[in-house]
Structure 1
């Protein structure tokens, strides 16, 4: 169940879903009579320096006859550089043979004013190329592939074909769309529809209107753009952000129409097999508590039904029978979700399928109503206290109470329940707290130190770490941890293997590590007469991104949700004078705090950091605030303990040296040094005055 937006990439790939009878034969026919032939400029006014891969798209033409269920495609490309010959010689057309047929119309090369026919059906091979196989998704589609001979720099390649057949799961409904620009300039883009019913349409990032006319009693819609402009890209943009000039078309008037369509797919009239009844009764009889039944059902579906999707045809939208899923012990997102829903309903627990767009959930409200707007299915449960709970049965190794099970930040979703007529915003209820406790023991100035680390992961962070640990050996985990600290310090030795304690009941994982750092004292930046040790909250820095530019026109992505507490305890080799501080930096996007404290009796310094972000992204209008506050944090986030090199070689340390909070601006350091010098000078003056009085 996937919605894909055309991007006019190097290969011609149209991803559709499949069902029905198998048609593997590729045929050749004339261009359908209903197609309107499009002209194009052979040398459009486009800067070739803006063209990637040596391929310039002169024409991208897509025309769809909805009543006939036919889709006509024509792509014309010009090879502008020798690097384009490789990809320009290859043709790859994706179609589903179980309900679609592929008809080739024309393949020509225009060279020096002459047209060369390159159409030979025998040059094509139909191969199965499962692009999502690494995700255990198999859609059964075929790629018709051909490699053209004698293609040269400067050639214009013109390809046209028609794919007949729509996925029967949609019935008489139609929804689709395209993009009216590309990541590089395009000479002309044409999108033409022939419809037997009213279509609703919407564009993003442009105001291009269709030309509406008629053809043989049908209504036609036509969008055309020329010399398209590329979208604006900025670093660290959220994956859900839509920068292209997207066009959405559908005959679904509202979201409740999509819900009504989906209710026929998720029907609750399945006669349960004896095996499924037995499993449900086993869970039901094992506890009388509703929450424990929900948890047990979720864990069974997550951990004992493996993830595997056979998404051919209606299989891309309609789940297999729960009986079959239990029997075969595998299924994709909708199979696993529907099995869980069926089991819970049999126990009298309210549960519903939920349609998700795993990539564009945050911007789903910008889409028009359509089943193709979704690519994932999860579960909503309403318990007896009327609490709304969301679960993803495709995630494994999740723990905690049934109200604390973590759920990804999918954004908006559509609950398949009668009467639902709008998208629902799903907010994570989990804190996802990570606490790090670093204890440094510096027995001598200039000598080695020991570092003991205790890290506590909770909620989704615990789930992620648990999955990571289960897929790795202890030795590889230990090596990975050491490599991490090798990037922070020189001369790191592992004193003992990591100790991992998994408290699955509260979904908390505790990890203990121990290291020796031989070269923790290093020359001080800006003053090589001193040596210093740096202390930083690396757990915060790992997700703390500092932009270079102050202005922004697109959203700025943040790691979300994120709540980090990082406590650093330093056992100093002697007494240092440390000021107690309590600094806070609050912005519209995050909160940051730093508390410093010195135990003078025991020569122990404490640094307590906390960071929490408030959203998954920064709005462009709030970016200046984010940028300014990030700069403030950078000024205070690192601490340095320093001492002159000459003093570090002394055997006795009876003096008390000062340490300061060092920032990227060393003015603070110089200020304190000047202060110390002033105190010494004043003391000398007082001493001299008193001496003179005594002499008088």
Structure 2
């Protein structure tokens, strides 16, 4: 989540003919150029500077961000940028300027737009076409926040031109009850010749300011009833985020500030907004009576209240102005049957309290997770609202925006975001979300290779997969049961691409069983495959390579060469894979033999248990992830352990076993199998580990606020100088 401009998110975009712009863009006169506010400290770009290692055909000469908080709490955010078009590629990025603001509480002023060409600064106001966009970038997720974008289309921009513009957005969301917070970016995904950040603060208001480690101290001055802090840097190199880093990792440097003293102060701000009504509407009261009459146990009542919000209130976020954080009244939400995470959470809490249960709304950050504890306290650092319920002395974390969870309360996959702020007057700090075993994405796969007919015959191949808890909900919510033929086709195509399962054919339709009460989904697949026995140079059977593709997927070695940032790893995942190999009936029964191999790394463990007896070989493999990331200093050890474990995935069944009265046990499929296995997602289409988070619906207002207003330390994969922090 990026910490970007509170007042306006401005990005230089690819120029497009106005005739091709979307229909929701309305013509608008270019705002009159207003004088730069007197409080702004003038900073001029240096057009003679050349930026080293420039990207996108642009020299970013200046990124100037200044914020002023007046003694009465009014706020102004001044932004000033300059960039040179270095190549024709840069023309694609310099022809359009976007300035974003919220008209419900903000006012936009444009101060300057000019171009330096052939040594002369030329006014460019008359060469700009203006349009206003009702831009709703998250409309597909049913999220609407009412923000507008002023789109400036610039004519006749050429290679070598320097474009300079400045504007101010005035206003601060009244939902924060006058409390101020924000931040500045100290570097970006592109090199910048000069980054200038300035905070002007009234001396009568206390503020906490924190910068990233290693940041030089700001210049400080006091006078005229205000204090001033300035961070000014030149020749700032680009900072890039490597691929496959954990969601909470932020390589960029920032300055953040807040008037909130601590997390308890934030909770006291939010608790009144999320206070359930003293009296429910007749419609909601009837639902409370219905639940109370149908269920006696507190846990059953809590689960029923959660299901009501999940099943009867669809997700739709209309979060304009103060609606960015203030939920709508539960009576209204239930009457209209739609709401966002705030609305659905307060509705759930209201029902639970009316049923005599202890419950509160809690705020979380879906990407920062445990790292939320390191953030500077503010109301803008969160992007999602959930419910904390205490039932029979046990704490449950529940998400009313999830698809219906119909299992008993203790079998529901909990909301799991690391840290939460419970909105209660008694809250003094963040609460660690202890979710335990219920939050694990667990699969149990039983595979049978039936080789009883021996060489020259097709072999049986059966797969039974049991998805439990969170894994079951991901499968269930993926609507696979509603389109089993398509799901079965994907599974068949996956296997058909697997060399050691050549000639695969289904023997029966894919079977699906859903036990919602146990929160378990089970699938069963039956196939047969071509003769799996390999031949030696004399044409005699030698071995049958029997794969474990799901395990290979989990233990695939990542690219770590020259990596300098932590590596993301599947969080909270467990796979138990049991493979039975039924050997030819003509074999003499094998004597009992076994072998155990254990591999431990900082982020995972892998256990391989091998047993053979009679006419069956049994291979059990257990994978457990222990962390959501691998630290840089553990990358080499991690890769080494993956290599070692990969040598023991699956099994090669040797034909020589038929002549032995006692065997040495396990074989090794080896690293070569890694090249043969496609991604597991192509098979099951499910989501495991940390990947399931990408399916969540982020609440519009909170997500937008975290991106635009907060002191959140998160940033996008490529942070541009044109989208600075507040």
Task: Indicate whether the TM-score tops 0.5.
Answer: yes
Give how far 1:364 is off: 1.0
Counterpart mapping for 1:324-343 below 5 A? 324-343=332-351
* Residue in 2 that maps onto 1:17: none
Pairing partner for 1:359 from 343, 352, 367: 367
Residues 382 and 388 of structure 1 are in contact (CA less than 8 Å); yes or no, is this contact kept in structure 2?
A: yes
Q: 1:246/1:399 Cα in 2 relative to 1: closer, same or farther (>3 Å)?
A: farther
Helix, strand or coil at the partner of 1:371:
coil
In structure 2, C-alpha distance between the alignment counterparts of 1:38 and 1:519, rounded to whole Å: 76
CA 1:531–1:5: 2 relative to 1, 3 Å: farther
1:478 paired residue number: 488
Partner of 1:435: 444
In structure 2, the residue corresponding to 1:76 is in which secondary structure?
strand
If you compute each CA radius of gyration, which structure gives the higher value, 1 or 2? 1
Residues 525-582 of structure 1: per-residue CA shift (max 9 Å, x gap): x999986533233223333342343786433222111111001111223539795211
- Please say if 1:494 is aligned against 2:506: yes
Are the counterparts in 1 of residues 50 and 59 from structure 2 also a CA contact under 8 Å? no
Structure 2 residue aligned with 1:648: none
Give 2:143's match in structure 1, choosing from 137, 153, 168. 137
The residue number in structure 1 matching 2:51 is 46
Residue 381 of structure 2 is matched in structure 1 by 373
Structure 2 counterpart of 1:298: 306
Q: Does 1:590 align with 2:604?
A: yes
Aligned to 2:112: 106
Task: Structure 2: give runs of 5+ residues left out of the alignment.
Answer: 15-27, 673-726
CA distance in 1, matches of 2:458, 2:513: 29
Q: Is the 8 A contact 1:587 1:625 kept in 2?
A: yes
1:166-177 → structure 2 map (5 Å cutoff): 166-177=172-183
What does residue 57 of structure 1 align with?
60
Task: Note closer, same or farther for the CA distance 1:46–1:532 as it changes in structure 2 (3 Å cut).
Answer: farther
Q: Find the counterpart in structure 2 of residue 413 from structure 1.
A: 420
Q: Determine whether 1:610 maps to 2:616.
A: no
Distance in structure 2 (CA, Å) of the matches to 1:316 and 1:343: 23
The residue that corresponds to 2:38 in the other structure is: 33
Say which of 159, 162, 171 aligns to 1:165: 171
CA-to-aligned-CA distance 1:285-314 (integer Å, 9 cap, x gap): 111110100011111111211111001111
Q: Summarize the Cα distance change of 1:125–1:521 in structure 2 as closer, same or farther, 3 Å threshold.
A: farther
Q: Using CA pairs below 8 Å that are at least 6 residues apart, which structure has the higher relative contact order? A: 2
Following superposition, the deviation at residue 663 of structure 1 comes to: 4.9
- CA–CA distance in 2 between the matches of 1:638 and 1:158? 62
Could you list the per-position Cα deviations for residues 213-268 of structure 1 after superposition, in whole angstroms to 9, with x for gaps in the alignment?
A: 13532111222222113336444210111111122111111111111111221233
Q: Partner of 1:580: helix, strand, or coil?
A: strand
Measure, in 2, the Cα distance between the counterparts of 1:630 and 1:352.
Answer: 43
Secondary structure at 2:647 match in 1: helix
1:249 pairs with 257, 263, 276, which one? Answer: 257
Say whether the 8 Å CA contact 1:495–1:516 is kept in structure 2. yes
* Mapping 1:572-583, distance limit 5 Å: 572-573=583-584, 575=587, 580-583=594-597
**Contact 2:182–2:257 under 8 Å retained in 1:** yes
CA contact (8 A) 2:533 2:541 kept: no
Among 402, 407, 410, the residue aligned to 2:409 = 402
Report the counterpart of residue 468 of structure 1 in structure 2: 478
Structure 1 residue 348 and structure 2 residue 353: aligned? no
**Matches of 2:566 and 2:128 in 1, distance apart?**
49
In 2, are the aligned partners of 1:181 and 1:229 still within 8 Å (CA)? yes
* Aligned alpha-carbon RMSD (Å): 2.8
Partner Cα separation in structure 1 for residue 624 and residue 539 of structure 2: 36
Q: Structure 1 residues 513-522 or 489-498, which shifts more?
A: 513-522
Question: Is residue 324 of structure 2 the alignment partner of residue 313 of structure 1?
Answer: no
Is the 1:397–1:466 Cα contact (8 Å) retained in structure 2? no
Partner SS for 1:105: strand
Q: Partner residue of 1:678?
A: none
TM-score (norm 1): 0.86
230-239 or 571-580, larger mean C-alpha shift: 571-580
Distance 1:389 1:516 in 2: 45
Contact preservation (8 Å) 1:531, 1:643: yes
Secondary structure of 1:464's counterpart equals helix
The answer for the alignment partner of 1:69 in structure 2 is: 75
Residues 114, 125 of structure 2: 8 Å contact kept? yes
Gap runs ≥5 in structure 1: 13-22, 645-652, 667-696
- Which residue, 112, 115, 119 being the options, matches 2:121? 115
Partner in structure 1 of residue 468 of structure 2: 458
Contact 2:103–2:147 (CA under 8 A) maintained in structure 1: yes
TM-fit CA distance, 1:136: 1.3
Q: Deviations over 1:129-171 (max 9, x none)?
A: 1111122110011111122111112221111111111111113
1:387 aligns with 2:401: no
Secondary structure at the counterpart of residue 400 of structure 2: coil
Does the aligned pair in 2 maintain the 1:200–1:251 contact within 8 Å? yes
Match of 2:23 in 1: none
TM-aligned CA deviation for residue 120 of structure 1: 4.1
Distance 1:86 1:501 in 2: 53
Q: 1:23-52 deviations in whole A, cap 9, x for unaligned? A: 9994431111111111333344533xx333
Q: C-alpha distance in 2, partners of 1:149/1:34?
A: 32
Q: Secondary structure at the match of 1:491?
A: coil
Q: Quick one: distance in 2 between partners of 1:323 and 1:3?
A: 34
1:189 is displaced (CA, Å) by 1.3
Q: Would the aligned equivalents of 1:453 and 1:513 in 2 still touch at CA under 8 Å?
A: yes
- Tell me if structure 1 keeps the 8 A contact 2:595–2:666: no
Provide the C-alpha distance between the structure 1 equivalents of 2:631 and 2:394, rounded to a whole number of angstroms. 31
Question: What is the rounded CA distance, in whole Å, between the counterparts of 1:334 and 1:432 in structure 2?
Answer: 26
